Amino acid sequence: MQEILDLLQNDARLTPDDIAAMTKKPVAEVQAIIAGMERDGIILKYTAVVNQDKVPEEKDLVRAVIEIQVTPEREHGFDALAERIYRFPQVKSLHLMSGGYDLKVEIEGKTLKDVAFFVSEKLATLSGVKSTKTHFVLKTYKENDIVYVDQKKDRREGVTA
């Protein structure tokens, strides 16, 4: 199972025939393993990884990381508040953290004003939110094991006399 999962994580376009050839397993067995992982919630979605900086209409999106300190709810802990937060369409990821803050939220907005509005009017007003700290993403170099910068570029400095 792990071998098939690794192959799909690296390239979700692989067909069961491709995977069967690579793993030397029968196609029917590969199909059954994949179906089982989908059914059990191990595989949640197949997706394309897109470099947003190269998509003309997405190039100017504003991305922000927000640290949130919260008061956990009795009986539900962090889960109920986390669910209210991850339901916002602006939220791209949400993590429970250890350390100086409780939740890390990554969001996207069309403008700085959109992000500011989301933080001040949506996040900060939620019951249980004690404080927020917003950091704007200036450039992505690597994310989810994918390097976003051109690695072939010659970075040597020129010598002048």
In a domain, 156, yes or no: no
In a domain, 44, yes or no: no
**For range 2-17, the mean pLDDT:** 93
pLDDT for the residue numbered 154: 58
pLDDT for the residue numbered 155: 60
Write the single-letter amino acid at 156: R
Is pLDDT above 90 for 51?
Answer: no
The confidence band for 158, taking pLDDT boundaries of 50, 70 and 90, is low
Q: Are 97 and 144 in contact (CB under 8 A)?
A: no
CA–CA distances in Å: residue 70 to residues 80, 99, 100, 148: 11, 13, 11, 33
In a domain, 86, yes or no: yes
Helices 27-39 and 2-10, axial angle in degrees (round to 10): 80
CA pair distance 63, 108, nearest whole angstrom: 5
Query: Range of 93's domain?
Result: 52-137
Is pLDDT above 80 for 159?
Answer: no
Is pLDDT above 90 for 3?
Answer: yes
CA–CA distances in Å: residue 90 to residues 18, 80, 87, 106, 159: 36, 18, 9, 8, 47
Q: Find tokens 């669910």 and name the residue.
A: 83
In a domain, 145, yes or no: no
Q: Are 15 and 7 in contact (CB under 8 A)?
A: no
User: In this structure, are 62 and 122 located in the same domain?
Assistant: yes
**For range 19-31, the mean pLDDT:** 95
Nearest to 105 by CA among 75, 135, 140: 135
In a domain, 161, yes or no: no
CA–CA distances in Å: residue 99 to residues 21, 30, 134: 46, 42, 16
pLDDT for the residue numbered 54: 79
Q: Find tokens 């404080």 and name the residue.
A: 131
Q: Are 97 and 103 in contact (CB under 8 A)?
A: yes
Quote the mean pLDDT of the chain. 90
Higher pLDDT, 147 or 34: 34
User: In this structure, are 130 and 98 located in the same domain?
Assistant: yes
**How many distinct structural domains can be found in the chain?**
2
Is pLDDT above 70 for 161?
Answer: no
Is-above-0.85 flag for pTM? no
List phi, psi (to 5°) of 20. Answer: -60, -45
